[in-house]
Structure 1
């Protein structure tokens, strides 16, 4: 069922999801680009409590991201540098290698509130330099040859143990 898109959304009307992972990751957030009818642009609203981050340190190979700080203060970890951030700051995270890896951390005493805006590539590779993982995903539905149910491809792994192109192929 397709939702009807709106021309205007007020962030106070958004239904936010609260989540927590371990001691360091926590956020109250939601993605809402599709509510505005946007197919090629992702938009998220994020409230991160003091001492927390909403995501691991990562870099995108295809998608660009931009963040606008609505309220609060924190630190923007970008590549090998760390930058103090505050209300009104705009942060860029262009696609690239580890030099564009980024993470927003609330180092303040109040919630850090920001918008995240990103291009929405059909396929994407994301690296996580701190843990040595990668994410390969597609943002469009694809079908399995055994089943006509549309699915999105998503795989998180580590690059250890490279396989030969023909590994596991019948008759190879």
Structure 2
């Protein structure tokens, strides 16, 4: 049963998902675009502790992202550059190759809080330049299975005809 979309929500009323991966990745966050009935726009609220990042350095081939810093201080890693960030900063991460790879890192002493806003593609490829991985994924509303998701590395590339009957 689908949840009815709301016209307005307050972040304080939402239950954040707190997670940690290794020593560098940690966040308390929630994606809430769907709660507002926004099928083509993703929105997340993120709280990142000092010294941490909420995601690896990555670039999207299809989706555009925008980040708005609410509080705290940090660094925006974008392509080959690094930018100091503070409350009120708006950060763009357009779709592209490694030149648009991005990552937000809390380099301050307080929790870094920001909104992430993105287009929502039905199919997306994400690359991770630091680790040489890629992610291929789909979101197919109303279709079973709803998602396809595969993480791999280009060096494990198969031939187009690999495993096909009669080949």
Whole-Å separation in 1 of the counterparts to 2:41 and 2:8: 15
Whole-Å separation in 1 of the counterparts to 2:80 and 2:8: 38
Q: Does 1:102 align with 2:102?
A: yes
Q: Does 1:150 align with 2:166?
A: no
Give the aligned partner of residue 156 of structure 2.
Answer: 161
Contact preservation (8 Å) 2:33, 2:42: yes
Q: Where in structure 2 are there 5+ consecutive unaligned residues?
A: none
Contact preservation (8 Å) 1:142, 1:153: no
Greater Cα offset, 2-11 or 162-171: 162-171
Whole-Å separation in 1 of the counterparts to 2:142 and 2:14: 29
- C-alpha offsets along residues 22-79 of structure 1, whole Å, 9 cap, x if unaligned? 0000000010000000000000000000000000000000000000001110000000
Give the aligned partner of residue 127 of structure 1.
Answer: 127
Cα distance, 1:170 vs structure 2: 1.2
Give the aligned partner of residue 14 of structure 2.
Answer: 14
Cα distance, 1:161 vs structure 2: 3.3
Contact preservation (8 Å) 2:50, 2:106: yes
Whole-Å separation in 2 of the counterparts to 1:135 and 1:99: 17
Give the aligned partner of residue 54 of structure 1.
Answer: 54
Secondary structure at the counterpart of residue 114 of structure 1: strand
Secondary structure at the counterpart of residue 116 of structure 2: strand
Whole-Å separation in 2 of the counterparts to 1:168 and 1:141: 29
Secondary structure at the counterpart of residue 42 of structure 1: strand
Whole-Å separation in 2 of the counterparts to 1:167 and 1:138: 23
Moved over 2 A (4+): none
Give the aligned partner of residue 32 of structure 2.
Answer: 32
Give the aligned partner of residue 2 of structure 1.
Answer: 2
Whole-Å separation in 2 of the counterparts to 1:137 and 1:23: 27
Contact preservation (8 Å) 2:139, 2:146: no
Q: TM-score, normalised by structure 1?
A: 0.94
Secondary structure at the counterpart of residue 160 of structure 1: helix
- The count of residues paired between Structure 1 and Structure 2 equals 167
Q: TM-score, normalised by structure 2?
A: 0.97
